[in-house]
């Protein structure tokens, strides 16, 4: 082989090695995303190994804390585990950053998820104990390839995004030990591949979602330590289910049917009633059963003790009664039995006598068992309790019937007295609104039929914002909680219509709260009619009214105040982006035109969406707000119908 051939061979080998090593490198765009995540998470010490964009992030890891798995130059798995949080993590978390526990006030969960969405091949995501806080944004569903998601031990609150149910590739969802306080989404369907659903230790409310019954791939459900209420339906349709944990909730139905393949069942510390279903004694794969601290009655099925795989059986603190079978047969796997604090009588079966067998732990205190069993009540305690219970039920039933009849009579008398007192002169809502409108400077075009005739607001109803909650009345305590007692840090400014505060509702929605004096020329009833009218004005380019508080709060000058709760629009006023002196973004002509088109749509709706329309709307550049998508929304519209202030509209756009 000549020198020329050797050179060619060397070059070929070098090219193959170089190209192969390059192909194993992560794409630069993927590296940039990971470094951006490091910035979002405020440079935790676990990510100090991610030094710069030249670091091969796929080849380095921190065992037990950080792992990045790559395939074909794309990130497919990302795990970042923070320091273990103490078990007494601040359960009084109020939705604001906590020093040394959460990330800083500048942290944005929305920005973090938007960055993660750029990892288009991501299949496994574990971000645990990192101090992340805020609502989990709906855009989490953009991680369409995700199969396993674990965001446990953080400070996430609000509702679980409904669109998370549309992630068809998702197999594992763990949101354990957070502060979610809404209801569980009820949009699951049979196309889901979910196998593990773990929502333990949150503040979730509402019923157990029936749509979960359509996800037959589920093997594990853990919703313990929440505030789930209502009844449980037949769960036997979940044929793959092996573990079900609903401990420490507020469920109050009879025990439902369970799938035959169940291995672990925890239903303790609820309010289940009725008898233990007979078919529980046929769950041959069952290893652990805990139904303690409920209100179960009847006898304990002997079949439970002899299930072939049962090792843990807890029936404590119920109202189970009757004798246990003398020849009760126990499974060879049984190691723990707790029947304490029930109403059992008779002798303790020899199979549960720990003096004869040391393999099994048996707790039986607080019953009426005979023989040498210690810490028992007299037999009369259990039998009298059973009789008293029957009498108590009859008493409750009779009392309930009498109470209902009494309430009906009182309501009927109240309605009759009210009608005689308030309606002899035919005073209607139309008359109330008509009288006060005639006395106001806003009389131009405002009909007395505006509020009471539904056909006038039909267009408003069609254009309603489905992503925002309906308008409702709030208490002053709720508003104080949302604004930290109207702290100065939440104060946003003041205009002729009152002061503005920024706040955050219990559901996690950010809002703006306006405080203005209650007009003396309107009665409370008439004022509510006017608020109802404003609440019906829903349009994509109007700042929506979400609620109000008119509890007769006394202001600085002994005046009653009213609070109006609006949606929060994040990017400020249009005025901010018009001047070249602005330190930030300045709109070009096409962007300005887009804003004006949006405003024109809002004005057109106000003029024509109701009959007659709203014409006096303070159309100033400072009243045009921009949301996170730079879409314009008009604020301060229609306030002249509830305020005594008038505005000459000196710098209007008209």
pLDDT tens for residues 300-316? Answer: 999 999 999 999 999 99
pLDDT of residue 619 exceeding 80:
no
The token pair that represents 422 in the structure block: 């308030």
Residue-wise pLDDT tens digits, 399-411:
888 889 889 988 8
- Which pLDDT does position 87 carry in this prediction? 42
Q: Is residue 85 over pLDDT 60?
A: no
Do the strands 560-567 and 545-554 form a parallel or antiparallel pair, or are they unpaired? antiparallel
pLDDT in tens, 181-210: 988 888 787 778 899 999 999 999 999 999
Q: How confident is the model at residue 612 (pLDDT cuts 50, 70, 90)?
A: low
Question: What pLDDT sits at residue 147?
Answer: 95
Higher pLDDT, 354 or 559: 354
Q: What is the pLDDT of residue 450?
A: 43
Higher pLDDT, 481 or 56: 481
Task: Tell how far CA 200 is from the center of its chain.
Answer: 13
598 or 617, which is more confident: 598
pTM score: 0.58
How, if at all, do strands 155-158 and 172-174 pair?
Answer: unpaired
What's the mean pLDDT when you consider all of the chain?
A: 81
Look at residue 422 in the predicted model and tell me its pLDDT.
Answer: 58
Question: How many Å apart are CA 259 and CA 235, to the nearest integer?
Answer: 6
Q: What per-residue string of b and e applies to 616-639 under the rule 16 or more CB within 10 Å gives b?
A: bbbbbbbbbbbbeeeebbbbbbbb
**Confidence at residue 178, expressed as pLDDT on a 0 to 100 scale:** 95
Which pLDDT band, with edges at 50, 70 and 90, does 9 fall under? low
User: What are the chain's domains?
Assistant: 24-228 (3.80.10.10), 473-641 (1.10.510.10)
Alpha carbons within 13 angstroms on the beta-carbon side of residue 496 total 13
Per-residue pLDDT of 101-144, as tens digits, reads: 999 999 999 999 999 999 999 999 999 999 999 999 999 999 99
Residue 642, pLDDT score? 72
Q: Using the 8-state DSSP alphabet, how is residue 350 labeled? A: G
**Selected residue with higher pLDDT from 524 and 373:** 373
pLDDT given at position 78 = 94
Mark out the alpha helices in 48-153 (DSSP H runs).
109-116
15, pLDDT greater than 70? no
Rounded to 5°, angle at Cα 118 from 114 and 123? 105
The pLDDT of residue 611: 54
| Token pair in block for residue 73 | 């130059």
The DSSP symbol for 605 reads H
Give CA angle at 137 (131, 140), nearest 5°: 100
**Which residues are CB-contacts of 111 (< 8 A; sequence separation ≥ 6)?**
40
pLDDT at 536: 78
Label the pairing between strands 491-495 and 498-504.
Answer: antiparallel
| 362, 335 contact by CB (below 8 A) | no
Cβ-contact 617, 634 below 8 angstroms: yes
Report whether 443 contacts 434 (CB < 8 A).
Answer: no
Range name among 147-161, 376-390, 547-561 with the lowest pLDDT average? 547-561
Give percent of the chain with pLDDT exceeding 90.
Answer: 39
- CA 29 – CA 53 distance, rounded (Å): 10
Q: Please give the pLDDT value at position 25.
A: 64
For residues 625 and 635, what is the distance between their CA atoms, to the nearest angstrom? 7
User: How many Å apart are CA 293 and CA 276, to the nearest integer?
Assistant: 13
Per-residue pLDDT at 615: 56
Most confident segment among 214-228, 458-472, 611-625: 214-228
> How far apart are the C-alpha atoms of 289 and 338, rounded to whole Å?
11
pLDDT at residue 19 above 50?
no
Segment among 27-36, 394-403, 630-639 with least mean pLDDT: 394-403
- Give 432's contacts (C-beta < 8 A, 6+ positions apart): 523, 525, 526, 529
Longest pairwise C-alpha distance within the chain: 119
Q: Which residues contact 211 (CB under 8 A, 6 or more apart)?
A: 165, 186, 187, 188, 189
How many Å apart are CA 86 and CA 104, to the nearest integer? 19
């Amino acid at each position: 082989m000549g020198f020329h051939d050797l050179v060619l061979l060397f070059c070929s080998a070098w090219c193959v090695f170089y190209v192969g090593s390059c192909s194993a490198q992560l794409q630069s765009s993927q590296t940039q995303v990971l470094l951006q995540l490091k910035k979002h998470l405020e440079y935790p010490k676990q990510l100090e190994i991610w030094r710069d964009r030249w670091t091969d992030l796929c080849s380095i890891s921190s065992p037990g804390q950080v792992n990045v798995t790559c395939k074909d130059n794309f990130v497919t798995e990302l795990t970042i585990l923070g320091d273990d949080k103490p078990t007494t993590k601040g359960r009084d978390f109020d939705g604001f950053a906590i020093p040394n526990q959460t990330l800083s006030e500048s942290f944005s969960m929305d920005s973090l998820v938007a960055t993660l969405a750029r990892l288009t091949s991501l299949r496994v995501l574990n971000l645990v104990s990192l101090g992340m806080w805020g609502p989990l944004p709906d855009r989490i569903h953009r991680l369409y390839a995700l199969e396993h998601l674990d965001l446990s031990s953080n400070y996430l609150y609000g509702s679980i995004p409904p669109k998370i149910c549309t992630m068809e590739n998702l197999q594992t969802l763990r949101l354990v030990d957070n502060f979610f306080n809404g209801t569980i989404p009820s949009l699951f369907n049979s196309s889901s591949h979910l196998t593990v659903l773990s929502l333990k230790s949150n503040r979730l409310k509402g019923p157990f979602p029936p749509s979960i019954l359509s996800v037959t791939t589920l093997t594990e459900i853990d919703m313990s330590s929440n505030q789930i209420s209502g009844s449980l339906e037949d769960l036997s349709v979940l044929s793959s289910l092996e573990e079900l944990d609903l401990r420490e909730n507020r469920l109050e139905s009879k025990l439902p049917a369970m799938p035959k393949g169940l291995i672990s069942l925890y239903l303790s510390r609820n309010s289940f009633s009725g008898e233990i279903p007979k078919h529980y004694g046929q769950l041959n794969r069952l290893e652990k059963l805990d139904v303690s601290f409920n209100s179960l009655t009847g006898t304990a099925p002997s079949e439970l003790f002899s299930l072939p795989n049962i090792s843990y059986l807890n029936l404590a603190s119920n109202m189970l009664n009757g004798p246990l079978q003398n020849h009760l047969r126990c499974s060879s796997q049984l190691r723990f039995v707790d029947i304490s604090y029930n109403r059992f009588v008779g002798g303790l079966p020899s199979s549960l006598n720990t003096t004869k067998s040391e393999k099994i732990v048996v707790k039986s205190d607080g019953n009426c068992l005979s023989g040498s069993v210690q810490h028992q009540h007299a037999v009369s305690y259990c039998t009298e309790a059973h009789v008293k219970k029957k009498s108590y039920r009859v008493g409750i039933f009779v009392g309930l019937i009498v109470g209902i009849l009494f309430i009906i009579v009182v309501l009927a008398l109240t309605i009759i007295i009210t009608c005689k007192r308030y309606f002899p002169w035919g005073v209607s809502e139309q008359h109330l609104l008509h009288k006060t409108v005639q006395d106001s400077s806003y009389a131009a075009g405002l009909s007395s039929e505006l509020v009471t005739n539904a056909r006038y607001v039909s267009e408003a109803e069609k254009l309603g914002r489905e992503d925002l909650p309906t308008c409702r009345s709030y208490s002053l305590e709720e508003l104080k909680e949302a604004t930290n007692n109207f702290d100065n840090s939440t104060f946003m400014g003041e205009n002729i219509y009152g002061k503005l505060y920024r706040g955050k509702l219990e559901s996690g929605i950010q809002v703006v709260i306006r405080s203005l004096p209650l007009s003396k020329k309107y009665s409370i009833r008439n004022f509510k009619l006017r608020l109802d009218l404003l609440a019906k004005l829903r349009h994509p380019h109007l700042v929506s009214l979400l609620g109000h508080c008119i509890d007769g709060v006394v202001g600085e000058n002994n005046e009653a105040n009213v609070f109006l709760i609006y949606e929060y629009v994040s990017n400020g006023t249009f005025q901010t982006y018009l001047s070249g002196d602005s330190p930030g973004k300045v709109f070009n002509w096409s962007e300005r035109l887009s804003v004006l088109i949006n405003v024109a749509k809002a004005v057109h709706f106000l003029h024509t969406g109701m009959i007659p329309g709203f014409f006096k709307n303070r159309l100033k550049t400072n009243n045009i707000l921009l949301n996170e998508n730079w879409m314009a929304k008009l604020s301060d519209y229609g306030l002249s119908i509830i305020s005594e202030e008038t505005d000459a509209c000196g710098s209007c756009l008209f």
